[in-house]
Amino acid sequence: MRSQISLRDANPFGLASAAAVERMLADIRGLAPDIAARAAEFEAARRIPLELVETLRSIGVFRIFAPRSHGGLELALPQAVEIIAALSRIDGSVGWDAMIGSTSGLFLPLLPRETYDRILDDGPDVICAGSITPTGTAEPAPGGAWRVSGRWPFASGCEHADWILGFCVVTRDGRPVPGPGGEAGPPRIRGFALPARDWRIEDTWHVAGLKGTGSHHVSLQDALVPEEQFFDFPGSRPSQQGPLYQAVRHLLPLLHGAFCTGMAEGALAELVALAGTGRQQLRALVPMRESEVFQSDLGRIAAGVRAARAYHRAQVESHWRHAVAGTLQDDALYAEGTQAGIWIAGACVHAADACFTLAGGAALYDSSPLQRRLRDLHAAAQHAVVHQRHYVEAGRALLDRAV
């Protein structure tokens, strides 16, 4: 079933109407009870089921970043993050796979236009998986192709993807080719896309958090990949002209932030629901919801979640203004967005930890969604896009401005 959101719902600038987005959000809210009831099933299977993937596809989740020219929704960034946050509010694995499956498609317009047209020939609901880690090699081969080998980690959703992306160090005679910075800089990096059926999926996803995302390793060995399925990164000019496609790298920390804020809001709601059951903890004089200590701690956690949400919204709106103006492709803005993404991830982890602690012994059981939120958010905060070590870029930018 295809989404009921169509081109009639889009404005002349290729951005879906508020009514179209609200319909999708309503569809997502309708899925919440079933998804929440099956969360343990997703973790046990280490993936989300195909019928749920197809349901998400049918309501338009995987076309939120596809261009209007190809039947997609081409959502404005503030609209798109609401979709990701809404799914993450329900369940971590579902929100994560939806984020990766739609966001990875932002890289596809970096391919040559003819290749991109072919990928979206059957419609805009293409699910893309991949890994941004350049752990492969691409060696020139006869006939203009490239011989690719490698093993890529964290390919979330690879078991239900249509296409998979990988990134490679370019080599010649087995040695890395220098990148734009010359011999003293990093090697040249290129990305490529292949149909999912051409990849080998290695069963490696045995982890502590985001268990239901199916983020296995994927690999290739001496695969011949045509030049038209490659793009330089950074360096390739996108084949699509919309503001979403001009500075993809800059958007990634904020899309990650949408996942984290949705998850933290979900944890807070689950703690409130637990208190609403009338639970009274050992040696407590009154039920949780009547305790001023609990109320005070709950208010403090809620303030932190609201702060993360407000920071995220402000940074998303700032980045989107620059994207529309064509000024987002800037190192200082990249550092600023990364700084925001890291802080938001950390704040949301803190909120989930606090919710888990405040819930007491009830949160220890596998049946508690709070232990799952805690594990999932810790796993998300380990992602390279928002890892704490990247604060260095914001610090360096601040010092450079002072000089």
**Model pLDDT for residues 196-247, shown as the tens digit of each residue:** 999 999 999 999 999 999 999 999 999 999 999 999 988 789 999 999 999 9
DSSP state of 4: S
Got the DSSP string for 16-45? B-HHHHHHHHHHHHHHHHHHHHTHHHHHHH
Alpha carbons 61 and 54: distance in angstroms, whole number: 10
SS3 label, residue 183: strand
Q: What token pair was written down for 364?
A: 């220890």
Q: Which residues of the chain have pLDDT under 70?
A: 1-16
Q: What token pair was written down for 168?
A: 């490679």
Query: Are the CB atoms for 290 and 275 separated by under 8 Å?
Result: no
Alpha carbons 81 and 257: distance in angstroms, whole number: 8
SS3 label, residue 16: strand
Query: Are the CB atoms for 385 and 253 separated by under 8 Å?
Result: yes
Residue 188 phi, psi (nearest 5): -70, 135
Alpha carbons 240 and 255: distance in angstroms, whole number: 20
Integer CA distances (angstroms), 4 to 18, 59, 73, in order: 14, 7, 11
Q: What token pair was written down for 221?
A: 């060995």
Q: How high is the pLDDT of residue 16?
A: 56
Q: How high is the pLDDT of residue 126?
A: 96
Query: Are the CB atoms for 188 and 236 separated by under 8 Å?
Result: no
Alpha carbons 108 and 123: distance in angstroms, whole number: 14
> Where do runs of H (alpha helix) occur along 231-359?
248-275, 292-325, 331-359
Q: What token pair was written down for 26?
A: 């309503």
Query: Are the CB atoms for 318 and 361 separated by under 8 Å?
Result: no
Residues β-bridged to residue 176: 171
SS3 label, residue 103: helix
Which pTM value belongs to this model?
0.93
Alpha carbons 403 and 396: distance in angstroms, whole number: 11
Q: Burial, 172: exposed, middle or buried (Cβ in 10 Å; 0-12, 13-18, 19+)?
A: exposed
Alpha carbons 273 and 321: distance in angstroms, whole number: 38
Sign of CA dihedral 356, 358, 360, 362: negative
